Amino acid sequence: MSALLHAELLKLRTTRTFVALGGAALGLSLLVVVLTALLGKSFTEKEVRELFTADFTGLFILMLGVIGMAGEWRHRTITSTILAAPDRLRLLAAKTLSYALAGALLSLIVTAAIMAVGTLILSSRGEPTIGISQLTDVLWRNLLVAALLGGLGVCIGALVRNQIVAVVGVLVFAFVLEPAIMALASDVGRFGPTVAAPNGILEVQPFGNSELLAPGIAALVMVGWVALGFAAAAMLLRQRDLV
C-alpha cells in the first residue's frame, strides 16, 4: 500500500496541474485575506477567526481529486495504472488517501500563509488578532476539510469518469445546487458535501442564518459522504471491463 501511495503522490507532483491549482488556492486565499484585513474595520475575534478559514484549498483539492481520477480515463492511463496495480480496491484507496494527504499538506501551507500575513496586517492596523490555541483550532479544521474534499474528489472522478462533465458538475453542485437546496430546505441542505457540511466543520455561516450541523456531526457526515462515494466508486471500478 505504501508503494502505491508513494506512486500516486509522485503522479501528483509530476504534472503542472497540481502546482497550478495549488498556487491558485494559495493566491486566491491570500488575496481574500489581505483585502479583508486591509479594508475591514473593527474586527471582532470571531471575525478574525472566520477570516482564517478563508483557505480555498478545499475547493481546489476537490477539483484536483476529480481531475486526477477522471484524468486516468481522459488520458487513457487507467489501463497502465491497473496493469501496474491490479487490485483495483487498493488502487482506489491509495488514490483517495494520496489526495487527502495532498489536500491536508496544501491546506497547511495555505493556512499558515494566510494566518501569518493576516495577523501581520491586522496587528499593524491595531486590529485584534487571535491566540495560538484559536489559530491551531482553525488550522486543524481547515486541514480536515481539505483532506475530506480531496478524497471525495477522487471518488467523484471515479464515478463520473468524464473529466469535463465531472468538473463542471461539481462546480454547478457546489455553487448553484447546494446553496439552492440550503435556501429551500435547510434541513436537507445542511448535509451537503461541498459547502454546508465543510462549513459546519469550520463553524462558518455562508448561508445567512441557516442552521448548520455541529462540527462533530458535520465531520461525521463528511466522512459518510466520502465512504459512500468510495464504496460506489470501488464497486464500479471492480466490475468495469477495461476494453
Partner 1 sequence: MVAPVEIRDLSKRFGRVEAVRNLSFDVGAGRVTGFLGPNGAGKSTTLRALLGLVRPTTGTATFDGRPYDELERPSTQVGAVLEDASFHPGRTARNHLRVLAATGEHPQERVDVVLAEVGLTEAADRRVKGYSMGMRQRLAIAAALLGDPSVLILDEPTNGLDPPGIHWMRGMLRDQASRGRAVLVSSHLLAEVAQSVDDVVVIAKGELRGQGPLKQVLGGDDGPSTEVRARDNNRLARELESHGHTVQRDGDALLVLGVTPEQVGAIAGEARVNLIGLAPRGRSLETAFFALTAETT
Which residues bind to partner 1, rule: CB under 8 A? 3-4, 6-7, 10-11, 14-17, 71, 75-77, 79-87, 241-243
* Whole-number CA gyration radius for the chain: 19
Q: Between 46 and 238, whose beta carbon lies closer to partner 1?
A: 238
Residue 80: CB atoms within 10 A of its CB come to 11
CA-based nearest residue to 25, from 129, 105, 139: 105
For the bound state, the minimum distance from the C-beta of residue 208 to partner 1, rounded and expressed in Å, comes to: 42
Residue 199 contacts by C-beta under 8 Å, 6 or more apart in sequence?
205, 206, 212, 218
For the bound state, the minimum distance from the C-beta of residue 19 to partner 1, rounded and expressed in Å, comes to: 11
For the bound state, the minimum distance from the C-beta of residue 88 to partner 1, rounded and expressed in Å, comes to: 9
For the bound state, the minimum distance from the C-beta of residue 234 to partner 1, rounded and expressed in Å, comes to: 15
For the bound state, the minimum distance from the C-beta of residue 216 to partner 1, rounded and expressed in Å, comes to: 37
Q: Between 46 and 75, whose beta carbon lies closer to partner 1?
A: 75
Q: Between 26 and 67, whose beta carbon lies closer to partner 1?
A: 67
Q: Between 11 and 186, whose beta carbon lies closer to partner 1?
A: 11
**What are the strands, taking DSSP E only, across the chain?**
none
For the bound state, the minimum distance from the C-beta of residue 83 to partner 1, rounded and expressed in Å, comes to: 6
Q: Taking each helix axis as running N to C, give the angle between helix 2-13 and helix 88-124, from 0 to 180 degrees, rounded to the nearest 10.
A: 50
DSSP state of 1: -
Half-sphere exposure of 3 (CA within 13 A, CB side): 2
Q: Between 94 and 143, whose beta carbon lies closer to partner 1?
A: 94
CA-based nearest residue to 174, from 69, 68, 60, 97: 60
CA angle at residue 69 from 192 to 228, to 5 degrees? 40
For the bound state, the minimum distance from the C-beta of residue 150 to partner 1, rounded and expressed in Å, comes to: 19
Q: Between 10 and 38, whose beta carbon lies closer to partner 1?
A: 10
Say if residues 95 and 155 touch (Cβ distance below 8 Å): no
Rounded to whole angstroms, the Cα distance separating 28 from 31 reads 5
Cell numbers placing 10: 509522485
CA-based nearest residue to 74, from 173, 7, 165: 165
